[in-house]
Amino acid sequence: MTHPPLAWPSTAPTFGEVRLRAFTDRDVDMLTDLSTDPYVPRIGTLPGDADGDQARAYITRQHDRFRTGTGYSFCVADRHTDEAVGVVGLHLAAVAAGRAGAGYGVAPRSRGRGLAGQALTALTRFAWSLPEVDRIELHIEPWNLGSVRTAEAAGYEREGLLRGHRDIGGDRVDVLLYATVRPVGRRADGNGRAVPPGTA
């Protein structure tokens, strides 16, 4: 399936202590740290205990997502130092129906500081600058309390349990459906160009 071309945000999405930007080769070290979490390779394409080449190949795949119109994959960076702390993505496979999906991960060494919730908030505000997106969904395994708290911190609401919804690492698992819908009055500019958070 072909996707329409995407526009990269003219102003980097920012919230709290984080800024969302494109990946660079300087982020390899963060990705190798992230890949030590055994859950991360189960839910994405970053291999477990990735070496430098595997991390660089992952970065190339994230750029390809944007280039092919399948979604935005941002490096989550400290807004003051630009140090990479994690990943957050907006998936647009179902955008023709007004729906997007989101996913996130924070490198183990940067966890416990509220950064995941801030990154998801920045991503969500950016998503409302895209006229096609009216709803953003998260799929979270019920045991993943850190992810549940992240979703709630970013204003997502629990809508139910989807039984046997996903194949994760070869296991068919239940997932909680969390979602947020476009706030009343927060319109994109109608041209598909990003509007800085707070101005829409």
Ligand X SMILES: CC(C)(COP(=O)(O)OP(=O)(O)OC[C@H]1O[C@@H](n2cnc3c(N)ncnc32)[C@H](O)[C@@H]1OP(=O)(O)O)[C@@H](O)C(=O)NCCC(=O)NCCS
Q: Considering the rule CB under 6 A, would residue 140 count as an interface residue with ligand X?
A: yes
Listed residue (124, 136, 12) closest to 75, CA to CA: 12
Instruction: Tell the smallest beta-carbon distance from residue 22 to ligand X (Å).
Output: 20
Nearer to ligand X, 15 or 126 (CB): 15
Near ligand X by CB under 6 A: residue from 37, 78, 137, 174: 37
Q: Closer CB to ligand X, residue 34 or residue 194?
A: 34
Is residue 32 at the binding interface for ligand X, with CB under 6 A as the rule?
Answer: no
Enumerate residues 143-172 that contact ligand X by CB under 6 A: 144-147, 149-150, 153
CB-CB contact of 178 with 157 (8 Å) = yes
Distance CA 177, CA 120 (A): 16
Find the binder of ligand X among 20, 30, 40, 59 (CB under 6 A). Answer: 40
Q: In the window 98-137, what residues touch ligand X (CB under 6 A)?
A: 104-106, 111-117
Order of strands, edge to edge, in the sheet holding 135-140? 14-15, 18-21, 71-78, 84-91, 99-106, 135-140, 171-181, 157-168
Beta strands 135-140 and 99-106, pairing class: parallel
Measured from the CB atom, is 39 or 66 closer to ligand X? 39
Main-chain phi, psi angles of 73, to 5 degrees = -120, 115
Question: What's the length of the chain?
Answer: 200
Q: Looking at beta carbons only, is 13 or 117 nearer to ligand X?
A: 117
CB of 13 to ligand X, least distance (A): 17
Structure tokens at 84: 């990479």
Instruction: Name the closest residue to ligand X (Cβ).
Output: 146
Q: Is 3 in the site for ligand X (CB under 6 A)?
A: no
In a 3-state reduction of DSSP, which class is residue 158? strand
CB of 149 to ligand X, least distance (A): 3
Q: What is the CA radius of gyration of the chain?
A: 16
- CB nearer to ligand X: give 153 or 200: 153
Question: How far is 131 from 74, CA to CA, in rounded Å?
Answer: 19
Q: Which residues bind ligand X (CB under 6 A)?
A: 37, 39-40, 43, 104-106, 111-117, 140, 144-147, 149-150, 153
